[in-house]
Structure 1
Amino acid sequence: MITLEYKVGQIVYSKDGHDKGEAMMVLSVEDRYLYLANGKTRKLGKPKRKKIIHVQPTHYVDANMAEKLTQNDFILDADIRKALKSYQVKAVDC
């Protein structure tokens, strides 16, 4: 069985649930669960707890956001929305 490593600041897509197909950012990793936020429906104050098997990883990690999250710097929901938007623009340009 291949296990994927998830990192703080990584962009993932939800594969199941009400948020299926939605891009989200990994805020933290705990055992088999990820805590995710998108800045709109799932905010920093109440991130979505989702099993690893229910997300599709991307290879993109926002380095700036990852650094802020690991150092517990002040972050706004708007920062997450901006990072997700910039990733989606880059993905379309490829």
Structure 2
Amino acid sequence: MEITTGTIVKSLAGHDKEEVFFILREEGEYVYLVDGKYRTLDKPKKKNRKHVETVSCEAGSPGEKIREGQRVTDEEIARFIKCFKKQKK
């Protein structure tokens, strides 16, 4: 899968290794990640593209809202990631 805005990704390197994030935006080689809890919409994590791996691009997720430019909240993102993690276990 392609790494694009609104996609759910897993970190491959750094202190946040194995954590799940949404891509908020892209700038060249870098992506800006949010998880709604520690990395909020106000202060996204800047990470090199090669240090993330696409996990999923689910329908009905906050990722769709991000891609369409609609308003999304940190709570929506955090709730979705929490449910996503539970499903994967």
TM score, norm. by length of structure 1:
0.80
Quick one: structure 1 residues 47 and 83, their matched pair in 2 at CA, closer, same or farther if it must change by over 3 Å? same
How many Å apart are 1:85 and its aligned residue? 1.4
Q: Report how many residues are paired.
A: 88
Which 4+ stretches in 1 moved above 4 angstroms? none
1:79 to 76, 81, 84: 76
**In the alignment, which residue of structure 2 is the partner of 1:61?**
57
Would you say the 8 A contact 2:57–2:63 is kept in 1? yes
Unaligned segments of structure 1, at least 5 residues = none
Who wins on radius of gyration, i.e. which is larger? 1
- Larger CA deviation: 45-54 vs 20-29: 20-29
| Contact 2:23–2:32 (CA under 8 A) maintained in structure 1 | yes
In 2, the alpha carbon distance for the partners of 1:38 and 1:10 equals: 12
Change in Cα spacing, 1:67 to 1:11, as seen in structure 2 (3 Å) is closer
Which sits farther off after the overlay, 62-71 or 20-29? 62-71
TM-score, with structure 2 as normaliser: 0.83
Q: Percent identity?
A: 35
Name structure 2 gaps, 5 residues minimum.
Answer: none
Deviation track 1:53-94 (CA, whole Å, cap 9, x = no partner) reads 111221x113332221123222111111111112112212xx
